[in-house]
Amino acid sequence: MTHTSTRRPVLRPTLQLMCLAGLSTFLAAPAFAQGTSHYYGGVSVGQSRTQTDAAGLTSGLLPGVGVLNSTTDEKDTAYKLFGGYQFNRNIALEGGYFNLGKNSFSANTVPAGTLAGESKVHGLNLDLVGTLPFTERFSALARVGVQHAWSESTASGTGAAAGVSPSSKRDDSGVKVGFGLQYEMSPAVWIRGEVERYRIKNAVGQNNNVDTATVSLVFPFGRAPVQRVAAAPAYVAPAPAPAPAPQVVVVTPPAPAPVVVAPAPQRVNFSADTLFGFDKATVRPEGRAELDKFSGQLAGTRYDAITVEGHTDRKGSDAYNQTLSTERAEAVKAYLVNTGKVDPAKISAVGKGESMPVTTAADCSDKLPRAQLITCLQPDRRVDVEVTGTR
């Protein structure tokens, strides 16, 4: 028995979709949203490969008839239309319509005859999608779900296969799995590359695998815009009140030493949303620019000590917020020492976690929608730098 297969070119739709994705990158706005729930929709196109068992199909359609040799055409263009809801940065629920194209076979039978058949498959699916972020924009995807497929099959034969049924239909449910990569090109356009496997029953009820490799464009909507908050201007403490006039006391020389009043500490407030990415402790380019301005103001001055304090909002656990605030304070300290040339012996860093909020529960109620609450709590996410002994 011999078996051969043929392939169809399916690259042109994929290349067109990738070109559209590249154009969307230049048309989209540069700001990116993070960590907010939202809806999304999208379209996928690629290639399907259907496991086609010519011998099994022949024996199922014509009991007692065998296969001398056969050819199969297992590949075709596949596409999906889908929509979903992203609960958070890691979990989404997604449903959609899929079309896996068609597959066909032809066989020379024993007893003598010929048999040819073709099947088309389409259906609906519901998946749970997990996302593992590598960076702010680049993530890995994995999915598991259920699908319900409708199959339409036709067959024709001669000789021993002349009595085959000319057409049949099936609708069956099964499972599907997949994995891939996702890149957020802009707030309005993401691109995905995925490999998926569908478990489909063929015309005679056998379980077959249909594998797809697709490229998708994803269009998120309903997300709250990112609030870009500029760093607060440097706080300059008011001049100390003049010391009360000294009382004249007649004493034996020497005269008492003059009282020296230490200058008041100066505090500078930086927004953590400007200095760092979401849940990150690496200083961003915008944050480096603000710290460069601050270190430039320190140049040529004399100071006794600098204290860097990291603060977070109340979202998250106490332990997590304490760790994040400490890491951010240490990151600012390291940048000021390494780039701003601050004396490492005169600078210290400490994390305050959520213990010193600027907002109150009355200001920002936990009943607010998530995106509004994150925006409301922005003043609490900060890094304060206190300079003492400046003169």
For 138-197, write each residue's pLDDT tens digit. Answer: 999 999 999 999 999 999 999 988 989 999 999 999 999 999 999 999 989 999 999 999
* Mean pLDDT, residues 303-312: 91
Q: Classify 17 as helix, strand or coil.
A: helix
Do 354 and 313 form a contact (C-beta atoms < 8 A)? Answer: yes
What DSSP state is assigned to residue 241?
P
Domains with residue ranges and CATH for the chain: 3-221 (2.40.160.20), 266-388 (3.30.1330.60)
| Predicted local confidence at residue 255, as pLDDT | 58
- What is the length of the chain? 391
Which H or E run contains 319? Answer: helix 318-338
Residue of 50, 164, 60, 168 lying closest to 115 (CA atoms): 164
Average pLDDT of span 386-390: 79
Q: Quick one: pLDDT at residue 233?
A: 57
CB 331 within 8 A of CB 270: no
Q: What is the pLDDT of residues 262-287, one digit of tens each?
A: 466 788 888 888 888 878 889 999 88
The 10 Å CB-count burial string (b at 16+, else e) for 268-294 is bbbbbbbbbbeebbebeebbeebbeeb
- Please name the residue that has the structure tokens 């359609």: 61
Residue that wins the pLDDT comparison between 234 and 10: 234
Sign of the dihedral defined by the CA atoms of residues 351, 356, 358, 364, in that order: positive
d(CA 58, CA 108): 10
**Could you tell me if 85 and 55 are in contact, meaning their C-beta atoms sit under 8 angstroms apart?**
no
* Token digits of residue 357: 């909020």
Instruction: Report how far residue 208's alpha carbon sits from residue 219's, in angstroms, rounded to the nearest whole number.
Output: 32
**CA angle, corner 270, sides to 264 and 276, nearest 5?**
150
pLDDT value for 10: 40
